Structures are given as structure tokens and as C-alpha cells.
Amino acid sequence: GAVVSQHPSWVICKSGTSVKIECRSLDFQATTMFWYRQFPKQSLMLMATSNEGSKATYEQGVEKDKFLINHASLTLSTLTVTSAHPEDSSFYICSARDRRTRHYTDTQYFGPGTRLTVL
Amino acid sequence: AQKVTQAQTEISVVEKEDVTLDCVYETRDTTYYLFWYKQPPSGELVFLIRRNSFDEQNEISGRYSWNFQKSTSSFNFTITASQVVDSAVYFCALSDTGNQFYFGTGTSLTVIP
């Protein structure tokens, strides 16, 4: 099956620094990638939808200047948490949609997640 | 608006017992997809099943079975003869025609040996 990777799998950083998380589709091209955030013992909340070659669409309440998303190629999207603070500590999960299918609701593949801890 | 409700926050069962996880959804779309995912402590989402809105046929896969009833907007998940390895958080999700996923709040299942 299709594989989506995330790097790093976990990261610890100091407050005020920026952290970049990569999401890659390894064996398919993804025109669209999604970024989710999951706080402990809570559900996944969609942060933004990333489309290759265009600006990301952010969900209400998500600061676009704080969570920078770049989808520069069909296999890579990055999420940069700028000036991270302890409240940004969370589990970040990306998913990618295979561009080859027209009805691609069933071909959204999730990455393994990145655990961010901001001290 | 789309909404997925998993009323059971935590469930504990003794190994070999059967357990049913409930999922109720809301949508105005006639075309949609329903999913179940398993999230073990490692955090990675494990895909279990996808069902489209036009297919109400129940499905069985080994010890897992799913009951989809459009009349009650429910998509329940049953694990038969539960095992310790089934301990995880289980999420029900709905995907609409915009291909956006809406997740329930999850049910944490603990299987006691």
C-alpha cells in the first residue's frame, strides 16, 4: 500500500525556536496533503489543507503566520512551527491524497506522526 | 455540518469478551465515506475499514465486524473475542465530497488479560 513518511518522528525544542516537519509520499504523487494536530487524549483536528504549487488553506482558528505550510512538490509538504511555545506541543499528523484517482476519498494515506515538545 | 460522535470515551473489557464501539454521524451529503482507524500508543493511525454511503452491507474481517445503518446514522464496530493487542484508541471518521476528514473524539479500549 501507499506509504507516507514524516520526519522527524519526534522533536524537542526550546521556546522561541522554529521547527520544520516534513511529510513525504513515498510511492505516489500527492496534489493535496492535510495537516492535523492531536493533543493528548483528544481527537485529530484538521489544521490546513496543502495543495501543490499554491497557498495552503487554513482552518478557522489556525494562525497561518505561525504554522507555515509549503507544498513545493508532488511528494513533499512541510509544516514549520515558527517561534514555538509550550502550548504548541502536540502530535502532528499529515495525510496525503493520491492524485491518480478521481474519486480519491478512499486514497488518503496518513503519516506516522511527529511528536513535538516545546520546553 | 459534518459531525462524528463517539459517545464511549473509555471501555475496558476482559480478554476474550466481545466489545462494540459506537459511532454516530451527521451529514447532509448523500455521498460520503465512513472509516474506522486504530491508534496504538505509538500514535500511527492504522486503517481498518472504509464504507461508502451507498453500501450498507455489513462487513466481517476476522474478529472485526462493522454494522452500518443509514436509518440511524450509525457505523458501529465490534471486536469479537478481544485480545490484549486490541488495546488502543479507535477513531471513527467521515469524509465528505470535499474529501475532508472529520474525526470522532475516539474510544480508548483497554483489554485486560
SS3 B12: strand
Using the predicted structure, report yes or no on whether residue B1 has a pLDDT greater than 90.
Answer: no
Chain B residues touching A91 at Cβ < 8 A? 43
At B42-82, the pLDDT tens digits run 888 998 998 989 888 888 889 999 999 999 999 999 999 99
Q: Is A42 in contact with B105 (Cβ distance < 8 A)?
A: yes
Q: Cell 451529514 belongs to which residue? A: B27
Q: CA neighbours within 13 Å on the CB side: how many for A45?
A: 14
Q: Is B45 in contact with A110 (Cβ distance < 8 A)?
A: yes
Q: Is B44 in contact with A43 (Cβ distance < 8 A)?
A: no
Tell me, letter by letter, the H, E, C secondary structure of B48-113: EEEEECCCCCCEEECCEEEEEEHHHCEEEEEECCCCHHHCEEEEEEEECCCCCEEECCCEEEEEEC
Q: Is A106 in contact with B33 (Cβ distance < 8 A)?
A: yes
Neighbours of B3 (CB within 10 A): 12
Apex A102 CA angle, A22 and B1, nearest 5: 75
Chain B residues touching A46 at Cβ < 8 A? 100-101
Task: Give pLDDT tens digits along chain A (119 positions).
Answer: 678 999 999 999 999 999 999 999 998 888 889 999 999 889 999 999 988 888 899 999 999 999 999 988 889 999 999 999 999 999 999 998 876 665 544 567 899 999 999 99
CA A94 to CA A80: how far, in whole Å?
13
Closest alpha carbon within chain B to A1: B47
pLDDT computed for residue B55 by the predictor: 85
